[in-house]
Amino acid sequence: MRTRFVLAALMLIAAGCGGGNTDETTATTTTAAPTTTTAAPTTTDATVPSTDASTTTTSAPEPVMFTERGPYGVGIATLNLGDRLADVYYPAIPELDARTEIFDSLSVFPEELQVFIPDELTGEFDTTAYRDAPVVNNEQAFPVLVFSHGSGGFRQTSTFHLSHVASWGFVAITTDHLERGLAAQATGTLGGGAENQDVLDVLNSLDALAAHPELGPVSDLDRVAITGHSTGGGTSGRAAAEDVIDAYITIAAGTPQTVIQKPAAVFVAEKDKTVAPERSYGLFEQLEDALLVNIANAGHNSFTDSCARIYELGGLGMLEALIGAEQVARGEDGCKEPTIRPELAYDVLNHYTVQFLTAQFIDPAAAGPLVDLSKTITPLIDFHVTGDPLVAS
C-alpha cells in the first residue's frame, strides 16, 4: 500500500502539476496598480529581430518571433523566504567556462521516499541557466514575472519557460507553495498555512527579490506580471487583484470567482482532461483586454518540463497495474501520442508570453502584432483577442 501511495505521488512529479480546483475566491484588493511603459534595459545585441514585412503592400505584417532564446544569458539564484525557497531567473553574463545548472527531479521528494521512485521515471533537466552568474549591469531594471506552480508541484516545474522569458530581458521568480506542493502530496500533509497562503507566497517572494543586494536593483517592481499553471493559474487570477500586479496569465486553469480587469493572456489545451477547456473560456469571456490561445491536440501537462520525458517513454503505462488507469491517465495528460509533442506547446507558450510581456512593459512596437501562428509553430484551435491586451493597464 505504501508503494502504491508513493507511486501515485510520482504521477505529480512526472506531470509537474495537479488538477486542483482553480475556481478560488479572489483577493479583496481590486484597485489596478499604476504601471510604467519605460523601456526595459537592453544591450547593443538585445534588440528584437526586425521583420521582413514590406511597407509598400497591404498584406498582413509579419509577426515578431519569440520562440528562440533572447539576447541575454540567464542566471539562476535561490532566495530563502524562511520556511520555503524561491528561484530567480535573470539576465546575466555567464563566465566563459560556466555550465548550465542541471535540476534532478528526484531531489524534490522527501529523502525517505526517494528509494521508492523507479529510475526510469526520474530525470535531470537542463535549466539553461547559470548558477549565481553575474547580473547584467546596464543601470536599468528589468520587468518581473512571477510563476505559480500547480497542486502537487514544485518551484522547478517550468524551468524551460522561466529561463526562456528571462533571456528576453525579464526577471522571473518562482516559489514553492508548500501547502499544496509535491512533498505535502507525497506525505499526506496537504493544506494548512494562512488564508490565501499562495498569494502571500507571491508577495513574500517579491519582497525578498526587492531586498536582494544584487537582484533587487535590477528588478523593476513597478512592472510586474504573474503567470501560473493549473491551480497556479488560479493563484495568478487572485493575485492579480493586488496593486503590485499589472497583468496576468493563466495556463490550463479555470475561472476565479472574481475576475480582475487587467490585461491578461489565457492559454488552453484542447485535449485537457484535468481542467476542462470550458473553464478557461469562462475567464476569457469576462475579460475586457485579453488574448486566448487554445493549442490543438495539447493536454494539461503539455506545459511542464517533465512532460517531454514522459512522451519519450511512451507514457506511464508501466505503472497501471500498481496505481490504476485513472492515475496513469492523469499523469499522461498531454504527454503521450496522439497529443502533440510538448516542445511545440513550449514554443507557443514562450512566444505569446514574451510578446505579451514585451508589449506590456517594454515597447508595443517591439512586440509586433498578435498573429495566429498555426502555420508557423503548431495548429491552434482558437486564437481570440478581445479589447487590446498589448496596451499596458
DSSP letters spanning 292-350 = EEEETT--GGGGSTTHHHHHHHT-SGGGHHHH-HHHHHHHHTTSSTTSPPHHHHHHHHH
| Helix ranges, 51-144 (H) | none
Sheet holding 380-386, edge to edge: 130-131, 73-80, 85-92, 171-175, 142-148, 219-229, 247-251, 264-269, 290-295, 380-386
Copy the grid coordinates of residue 339: 497529443
Q: Which among 104, 120, 188 is positioned nearest to 152, based on CA atoms?
A: 188
Q: Quick one: residue 360, left, alpha or beta (phi over 0 = left, psi -120 to 50 = alpha)? A: alpha
Q: Which residue has the cell 525517505?
A: 112
Residue 54: its pLDDT value, please? Answer: 40
Residue 262: its pLDDT value, please? Answer: 97
Residue 239: its pLDDT value, please? Answer: 96
Copy the grid coordinates of residue 305: 518540463
The pTM for the full model equals 0.83
**Successive 10-residue mean pLDDT values, the chain, 393 residues:** 45 49 40 35 37 45 90 96 92 91 71 62 81 87 93 78 97 84 60 76 95 96 96 94 98 94 98 96 97 98 89 83 75 93 97 98 95 96 96 80
Q: Is residue 202 a contact partner of residue 237, using CB atoms and an 8 Å limit?
A: no
Residue 126: its pLDDT value, please? Answer: 87
Q: Which residue has the cell 529581430?
A: 49
Residue 306: its pLDDT value, please? Answer: 82
3-state secondary structure of 77: strand
167: Cβ contacts below 8 Å, ≥ 6 apart: 69, 70, 71, 72, 73, 74, 91
Omega cis (within 30) before 338: yes
Q: Is residue 359 a contact partner of residue 35, using CB atoms and an 8 Å limit?
A: no
Q: Is residue 309 a contact partner of residue 276, using CB atoms and an 8 Å limit?
A: no
Copy the grid coordinates of residue 299: 493536454
